[in-house]
Amino acid sequence: MKIVRLETYLVPPRWCFLKIETDEGITGWGEPVVEGRAHTVAELVGEMSDYLIGKDPGPIEDHWNVLYRGGYYRGGALHMSALAGIDQALWDIKGKSLGQPVHVLLGGPVRDRVQIYTSVRGSNKEDLARQALDHVRKGLTFIKMNATEAIGFIASNAAIDEAVARVDAVRSAIGPEIGLGIDIHGRAHRGVAKTLVSALEQFRPAFIEEPVLCEHAAALSGISRLTSAPLALGERLCSRWDFKPFLESGHVDLIQPDPSHAGGITETRKIAAMAECYDVGVAFHCPLGPVSLAACLQLDGVCYNAQLQEQRLGLHDPDAPLLYVSPACGFDYADGAVMIPARPGLGIEMNEDALHDAAKQGHRWRNPVWRHNDGSIAEW
């Protein structure tokens, strides 16, 4: 079997899908994208395709190492996301060619389902509470929320009180038994983060995510001493080498690697295994589309320390998953969980007619730019 073509599709709302075709008619799908940089990642995939065309898709580990190490410069969100989509598609091909789901090829499942969560977003506590309760009524047993809007190096008492009120409104709406993750989203700087985690601990969060940005790793030591709540991070980290110092520090309890940003299934599985050595759980990051979610679920099936699965397929357009995935090969949800797919490869089939039509429209999604009252840029 030989690789004959790689083709990317940029489609609304902000996604990029990759199709790898072989001379035997077996195709694989991946999702290589950085939110807001989709066109750049697609170009990187095109550059990497020069090496892959004409190659046997089977030796995935070797292809991964060549595409990672062979360019001399390596790492970072763009490179690792392009590599991630290719890696996902190669695993999809391998599973389809052998008639097995990817998780079986990785050693077989340790679970048949994984608890899911989605995020609620809004500018006021009433909207957040209403969204959270709506998700619970639909069957979700875990919710994540952003604790704060833009916040600076120093926060007023009013800003801290507003964050507490937001979380209080959601916790009061969903009750004490529903799992709650609180995301600070790297918006707080070191001093404010200390105040926030202390103030929010009363709501018994399952985790507090990105209390500071990952580049401020040294701050986590002081923050972790101020709260009994587990600390989570990792969506902006792109390789096992990025995660290594955080795991060694002992100040992170849950990591959130993204299989569409952190080198694909091959690399993310290794990251999860590293975390297990430090007794750290995994909740794979997935604010993206159906191929990314399918890759996450293959990893959820085989990684013992995978505990939660983010999914936000309806975040931008509730109908988008139905447009791009064949209804007969989608996702099976029940009781706040999603089943680990049992179909070959990644376990889904794409609706290529819908993809071709949507790619004609394309997208140029960009994240918002926030500013503080003084005009300086704020973390989003």
Q: Give me the active site residues, please.
A: 185, 285
* Residue 146 Cα distances to 119, 149, 202, 210, angstroms: 8, 8, 16, 11
CA distance 94 to 99: 8
CA distance 192 to 185: 13
What's the rounded Cα separation, in Å, for the pair 296 and 300? 6
**Distance, CA of 274 to CA of 281 (rounded, Å):** 10
Q: Quote the distance between the C-alpha of residue 246 and its chain's center.
A: 18
Q: What is the 3-state secondary structure (H, E, C) of 258-323?
A: CCCCCCHHHHHHHHHHHHHHCCCEEEECCCCCHHHHHHHHHHHHHCCCEEEEECCCCCCCCCHHHH
Q: Which two tokens stand for residue 318?
A: 């509730």
d(CA 271, CA 252): 14
Mode of pairing for the β-strands spanning 254-255 and 179-183: unpaired
Rounded distance between C-alpha atoms, residue 197 and residue 145, angstroms: 14
| Three-state secondary structure call for residue 22 | strand
For strands 207-209 and 281-284, give the pairing. Answer: unpaired
Only one residue has tokens 């009994």, namely: 228
What is the spatial distance between Cα 213 and Cα 215, in angstroms, rounded to a whole number?
5
| Helix, strand and coil percent figures for the chain, each rounded to 5 | 40, 20, 40
Backbone angles phi, psi at 15, to 5 degrees: -105, 160
**Nearest of 17, 16, 21, 23 to residue 6 by alpha carbon:** 21
Residues in a beta bridge with 19: 7, 29
The β-bridge partners of 16 are 10
